[in-house]
Chains A and B, each alone.
Chain A
Amino acid sequence: MQLIERYAYTNRLRTVPPDHKAAVALLVLLLCLALDRPAVSIACIAWMFLLVVPVAGVPARTFGRVLVVEGGFILMTIPGILISIGPSAPSDSTAWSWPLGPLWISTSAATLWQGIALVMRALGCAAAMNFLALTTPLVDIIELLRRWHIPSVLIDIMTVTYRSIFVLLESANTMYIAQDSRLGYLTSRMRAIHNAALLASRLFVEAYRRGKELQIALESRGFNGDLRVLPMTYRFSPLFTVLGAVIMANLVLLWAMA
């Protein structure tokens, strides 16, 4: 998470208006879902790689690692699609099947292809979201939601939650070190679990205290129920816009040709 954060703030597409980046990400996501062809899915991943790595300057390793983690989760859902279990052998003669006690486990070339196509499609969509996450910090996304007139209550909750994640991470880390330095995690497994539970409950109290402090600090600066801050300024990038259009055209073309 910290890694994604770092590149989101330092990449070369940082100053491109977040509307444009979000538009590209969302359109690619939609096209990837709607134009259901493995070629389109692969093209999505390839285009997103191009935008994230050579264009934005994020290392290929980071792009790959994030995608692999997501791929892991996607693969976990695949057995359910590939394998079917029933009380009798499948009627389809092209299917492969094995008896398992009173049940039959079966799969077929068709479902295998379906599974692969599904994984590619999910990865294509994931890549589109990764592009947004790796090039656009949450501050910009919050800014974007503000411009899209999302209710300010939701935006305020997002802002404070996001900020609190880091504050609490830091507290949790400090507490963990304090416990660890007094051998909290080195004696028995049971003690370690107990101490982790202690940490979690303390963290809850800490979160409450922080919340109160924040309330006081905001009030002292004239808080009136609405966290208003200055909008950011961005630079229009013709290159990015052209590239976005090319990507959309290419995806539609690939689909039409297939």
Chain B
Amino acid sequence: MKTLFEFENVCYRYPGHKQLALRNVNVCFPEGEKIAVVGRNGAGKSTLFLHCNGLYRPLCGRVSFRGRPLAYDRASLKKLRQQVGMIFQNPDSQLFSASVAQDISFGPLNLGLSEAEARRRVLEAAEICEITHLLDRPTHSLSGGEKTRVALAGVLAMQPEVLVADEPLASLDPWMRLTFFDILQRFYDRGKTILMATHNLSVVRYWASYVIVLQEGQVVFSGTPKALLTNRTVLEQTELSRVWWKVDPGFDEDEEERVLVSTPSSAESTDGEGKSFQFSADGDWSI
């Protein structure tokens, strides 16, 4: 398993805050995986993500990308940010331009591409994200789901190696989620890595191939979903065992014991790559 990002003893504190947002984080993000990052509100998911793009600089410790420690000079950051695309919780904070096509063209032009090449990238990204019909529309007239896809297109147009998505599902209805996951799958199928912060435990169970659990600024678990489901200590420490069965219809409390001890078929399917996913009517994942 190749390591994409490596965090070594990373601490971060927001200016004016007493508490550390990240406390000695040690974690590796494997390359070519679908990585879900879970944790309660304020656990440090967004802070962790903003370090991946060099937007935040650790107070102590260091972050490495593909074995090299991040450098924070202009040229290195430019290169890093081409390879690591980010989409944020609120798509409104990401879209600055009044026109959809122009907004998507922003990243490619910053990479120094020619206008013709940028135009090609815009069209390509729009096609992947199924927003070709929106290219001429003003940004402010879009719905939440459309805005999310435009934000995604703006990132994909830069042809990144990694996609870092911070709770992208919040503004999407179940149908749109399906489309969104299709787009992600296409990206993943080309050998790229996806990092997604999510509160949706079904996504962790059925979509992710790797999970990182954050608690109060520390990484308390990293491994496959199967390993998480069989790790009683972590499940109880993070109280995931208390909530999981309530929000995940497939997670049966009576079954928990068996889930924890053995590996029933549902847990096994978590590492089943290339399987097709389906939505049940309530918008949760099932296989």
Q: Given the complex, which residues of B lie within 8 Å of A232, measured CB to CB?
A: 99, 101-102
Q: Residue on B with the closest CB to A160?
A: B96
Q: Given the complex, which residues of B lie within 8 Å of A231, measured CB to CB?
A: 115
B101 touches A162 (CB 8 A): no
Beyond A5-B138, A230-B101, is A222–B107 a contact (Cβ under 8 Å)? yes
A180, CB-defined interface residue at 8 Å: no
Closest CB in chain B relative to A215 CB, distance in Å: 9
Residues of A1-57 at the interface with B, using a CB-CB cut-off of 8 Å, are 5, 9
Quick one: CB contact mask for B125-139 with A, threshold 8 Å, 1 for yes? 000000000000111
Binding site for B on A (CB under 8 A): 5, 9, 137-139, 142, 159-160, 162-163, 166-167, 170, 210, 213-214, 216-224, 227-232
Q: Residue on A with the closest CB to B90?
A: A213
B122 touches A230 (CB 8 A): yes
Q: Given the complex, which residues of A lie within 8 Å of B97, measured CB to CB?
A: 139, 159, 163, 227, 229
Q: Residue on A with the closest CB to B86?
A: A220
B232, CB-defined interface residue at 8 Å: no
Closest CB in chain A relative to B228 CB, distance in Å: 29
B86 touches A222 (CB 8 A): no
Beyond A221-B81, A229-B103, is A163–B155 a contact (Cβ under 8 Å)? no
Report the separation of the CA atoms of residues A232 and B136 in the bound assembly, to the nearest whole angstrom. Answer: 9
In the complex, 24 of the A-B residue pairs with CB atoms within 8 angstroms, ordered by the A residue number, are: A137-B98, A139-B97, A139-B99, A160-B96, A163-B140, A167-B92, A214-B94, A216-B93, A217-B88, A217-B94, A220-B85, A221-B85, A221-B106, A221-B154, A222-B78, A222-B81, A222-B107, A222-B110, A224-B110, A228-B109, A229-B106, A230-B102, A230-B109, A232-B102
A214 touches B93 (CB 8 A): yes
B118, CB-defined interface residue at 8 Å: yes
Residues of B184-218 at the interface with A, using a CB-CB cut-off of 8 Å, are none
Which single member of B86, B94, B107, B140 contacts A166 (CB below 8 Å)? Answer: B140
Beyond A163-B95, A163-B139, A232-B99, is A222–B122 a contact (Cβ under 8 Å)? no
The interface centre, meaning the residue of B97, B98, B118, B122 with most chain A CB atoms within 10 A of its CB, is: B98
Report the separation of the CA atoms of residues A217 and B154 in the bound assembly, to the nearest whole angstrom. Answer: 11
B88 touches A137 (CB 8 A): no
The interface centre, meaning the residue of B81, B99, B119 with most chain A CB atoms within 10 A of its CB, is: B99
B148, CB-defined interface residue at 8 Å: no
Binding site for A on B (CB under 8 A): 50, 53, 55, 74, 78, 81-82, 85-86, 88, 90, 92-99, 101-103, 105-107, 109-111, 115, 118-119, 122, 137-141, 154-155, 158
Closest CB in chain A relative to B259 CB, distance in Å: 38
Report the separation of the CA atoms of residues A56 and B95 in the bound assembly, to the nearest whole angstrom. Answer: 30
Q: Residue on A with the closest CB to B136?
A: A9
A139 touches B88 (CB 8 A): no
Closest CB in chain A relative to B85 CB, distance in Å: 8
Q: Given the complex, which residues of B lie within 8 Å of A229, measured CB to CB?
A: 97, 99, 102-103, 105-106, 109
Q: Given the complex, which residues of B lie within 8 Å of A162, measured CB to CB?
A: 98
B158 touches A222 (CB 8 A): yes
Closest CB in chain B relative to A145 CB, distance in Å: 13
Beyond A9-B138, A139-B98, A217-B94, is A223–B110 a contact (Cβ under 8 Å)? yes
Closest CB in chain B relative to A187 CB, distance in Å: 32
Closest CB in chain A relative to B252 CB, distance in Å: 39
A220 touches B81 (CB 8 A): yes
Q: Given the complex, which residues of A lie within 8 Å of B102, measured CB to CB?
A: 139, 229-230, 232
Which single member of A9, A163, A167, A221 contacts B107 (CB below 8 Å)? Answer: A221
Q: Given the complex, which residues of B lie within 8 Å of A170, measured CB to CB?
A: 92
Closest CB in chain A relative to B148 CB, distance in Å: 13
Q: Given the complex, which residues of A lie within 8 Å of B137, measured CB to CB?
A: 9
6 A-B pairs closest in CB distance: A213-B93, A222-B110, A229-B102, A166-B140, A230-B105, A217-B94
A216 touches B90 (CB 8 A): no
Q: Residue on A with the closest CB to B102?
A: A229
Report the separation of the CA atoms of residues A222 and B141 in the bound assembly, to the nearest whole angstrom. Answer: 26
Beyond A163-B98, A229-B109, A230-B101, is A221–B158 a contact (Cβ under 8 Å)? yes
Which single member of B88, B96, B118, B122 contacts A163 (CB below 8 Å)? Answer: B96
Report the separation of the CA atoms of residues A218 and B81 in the bound assembly, to the nearest whole angstrom. Answer: 11
A217 touches B93 (CB 8 A): yes
Report the separation of the CA atoms of residues A137 and B107 in the bound assembly, to the nearest whole angstrom. Answer: 23
Q: Given the complex, which residues of A lie within 8 Å of B92, measured CB to CB?
A: 167, 170, 210
A228 touches B106 (CB 8 A): yes
Report the separation of the CA atoms of residues A9 and B107 in the bound assembly, to the nearest whole angstrom. Answer: 25
Report the separation of the CA atoms of residues A220 and B77 in the bound assembly, to the nearest whole angstrom. Answer: 9
Q: Residue on A with the closest CB to B155?
A: A221
Report the separation of the CA atoms of residues A5 and B138 in the bound assembly, to the nearest whole angstrom. Answer: 9
